[in-house]
Structure 1
Amino acid sequence: MKESPAFKSLPPLNPLKVFETVARLGNLTKAADELHVTQSAVSRQLGVLEKYLGVKLFTREARGVSLTKSGQAYHQRVGPAFAQIASATAELRGIRKEPPLRVLAYTTFAAKWLLRHLYKFEQSHPDIEVLITSSVEPVVFERDEVDIAIQFGDGRAHHGHSVLLFRDIIEPVCSPALLLAPHQLSSPRDLERFKLLYSRYRSSDWPDWLQHVELGHLAKYTSPPLPSSLLAYQAAIEGLGVAIGQTRLLEAEFLSGLLTRPFDLPLTRDLGYFAVLPPRHVAPKAKMFLDWLCAETEAIDRL
């Protein structure tokens, strides 16, 4: 039997597994504990992979390691592949007999953050199937029949145990093309020449940010609201105007160059995204998911 051409380009699988674990956990010691090897063994395996690929995947720092741009790009492809293998293996072994973990999340949070990170949870917990539903309405656990919810607000109106994941940080975002002539978006005052895009569910974002930079009078230039932040961001990517963006949800767009922050004048508000557990019975898998959410958002804050 002939070897598949695709297999010839595969790197050594054990170093690849070590790379995925370190990239996912962001820590050599934690990776060594999960893999049941020593930290020096982890470092050696990373060296083998970097030598094979001919690129630096991590930078070593006093408080740990962080992915290089090459490492980030590689992990975005390798991580989901490991998650798929784990998922396929779990299904084949027939261990997914429990009902799924039901997660309710705001649509934009689900699309721009949760789905981009979820493979890490599935890889660590291949026996837990996650079912995501989306809504902009406040959760009512008796009605919605979910195990955990991701809600936006100040945390006081949530019925149940709530934990802050991260604060709401907003600022203008646009296509890099708008920074070039003849557009010349170079200062906040230039915004009066552009459509100011936003979601109808976040109508206070532009007024709040404009007040933050002492240009409240420019709020009159906002365009008619769009049905969702997802559409506002896509309109900005297409160069149709400048959106007021939730920067924590747009990290992939900034990294890829689809969007940019023209002014670097963020406004951090008292609002934020909260993970909410039901007030009474909390499923063990919901607690696991909450622990993962907290660890994942803290890990991103350290990058």
Structure 2
Amino acid sequence: MRGRSISGKRSIVVTHFVSLWCRSLRWRTIELVSAICQEISRMSRNIPPLNAIKAFESAGRLGNLSGAAIELGVTHGAVSRQIAILEEWLGVRLFAKSGRGVALTAEGRDFLAETTKLMDGLSIATDNLIKQDRPLLLRVNAPQTFAMRWLIPRLPAFSALHPNVEVRLAASIQPVETITDPFDVAIRRGSISAASTPFLAETCIPVASPSLLARQPVEEVRDFEAHTLLHAESVAHLWLDWLKLAGCPGLRGRAQLRFEPLYHSLQAAIDGVGIAMGPSALVAADIAAGRLVPLFPAIPLAMNDFHLLIVPGRDPGRNRQMFRRWIEEEGARND
């Protein structure tokens, strides 16, 4: 019994010793990992947030925050916030107010020279990495009706000419400076900015389906009083402007139907629901196919041209330039 008791005590002592040893080893391991992490932290590059760098470099290179917002596909406020973050991180002012805009400080000019050099180097490295046989991405932002009725039917021709360019089309009519998703080319009716170029001229006249006119002919403008007039809220002024031009400013149809997008009112006209205002370029295919009939073509209402804007950057990009040349040729062919 005594021997068994001594053996048990030894076992307890050994177990306790092993436990203390393991606990000591665990703490030493934790201390070692902590020391390694601290060393890595000390060795890390002292680099500000990259989004802030991009915003500063773009604004400094272009000379204003609005241009940077368009280039980066973000809002003016987002660029301003990123620059504020960078200034706080660096502890120096990079921009100072100058009239209604901003100007680089001396520190900002020095920092811009280095950041532009680094961003250009990164751009070159990226271009070298992306082989020429990979698709070139082209992001186009355009109004929905224009995209559906004019651009999309023509895109196969562009793809046949430039099979290595991948077009990604997004539909929007919001001002380009408020678009949050990145884009390379923007298309809008009317001038977008001093840098945008017109490529497609248009006029507007009433249009209706042959079946509707067979049931209820239109010989003069006053005949519209017996018809349903179709309106698009995105261009709500078209009927008012055209009726005034035609000398019947107070005319109202038998009924009014209103749609949000223009293409809904045009589709309703094709379906024989009523008479719509048809922008010439957007209804040309339907008129040629006999789906719509132009009414009073001798009284065309002038409209703003469609404009194209290439997002400003270091390099216009050969895919963007190819698209601009192509769409200008298509627009001229439409005249």
**TM bucket normalised to smaller:** 0.5 to 0.7
Q: What TM-score, normalized to structure 2?
A: 0.57
Q: Which amino acid aligns with 2:213?
A: L
Separation of aligned partners in 1, 2:173 and 2:275? 23
Q: Work out whether 1:242 is the aligned partner of 2:275.
A: yes
Deviations 1:92-144 (A, max 9, x none): xx976245200001000000000111111111101001010001112128733
| Maintained 8 Å contact 1:103/1:133 | yes
Shift of 1:160: 5.7
CA distance, structure 2, for counterparts of residue 246 and residue 188 of structure 1: 18
1:123 is aligned to: 160
Other-structure match for 2:293: 260
- Alignment-derived partner of residue 170 in structure 2: 133
Counterparts of 1:222 and 1:144, CA distance in 2: 40
Structure 1 residue 264, shift from structure 2 partner: 1.8
Superposition pairs for residues 1-303 of structure 1, below 5 Å? 97-140=134-177, 143-153=180-190, 155=191, 158-159=192-193, 161-181=195-215, 183-219=216-252, 223-281=256-314, 282-301=316-335
Specify whether residues 218 and 164 from structure 1 end up closer, same or farther in structure 2 by C-alpha distance, changes over 3 A only.
same
Measure the CA separation in 2 of the matches of 1:244 and 1:165: 22
CA offsets 1:59-84 (integer angstroms, 9 cap, x no match): xxxxxxxxxxxxxxxxxxxxxxxxxx
Name the SS of the counterpart of 1:231 in structure 2.
Answer: helix
State the 4+ residue runs in structure 1 displaced beyond 6 angstroms. Answer: none
CA contact (8 A) 2:203 2:303 kept: no
Give the alignment's Cα RMSD to 1 decimal: 2.1
**In the aligned structure 2, how far is the partner of 1:180 from the partner of 1:270?**
29
Taking the aligned partners of 2:178 and 2:133, their CA distance within structure 1 comes to 24
Against the structure 1 CA distance between its residues 226 and 142, is the aligned structure 2 distance closer, same or farther, given a 3 Å change threshold? closer
In the TM superposition, residue 200 of structure 1 has moved relative to its aligned partner by 0.7
CA distance in 1, matches of 2:324, 2:223: 42
> Share of identical aligned residues, percent?
29
Larger Rg belongs to: 2
Provide the aligned length of Structure 1 versus Structure 2.
Answer: 204
Q: Higher helix fraction: Structure 1 or Structure 2?
A: 2
Query: Which amino acid is the alignment partner of residue 232 of structure 1?
Result: S
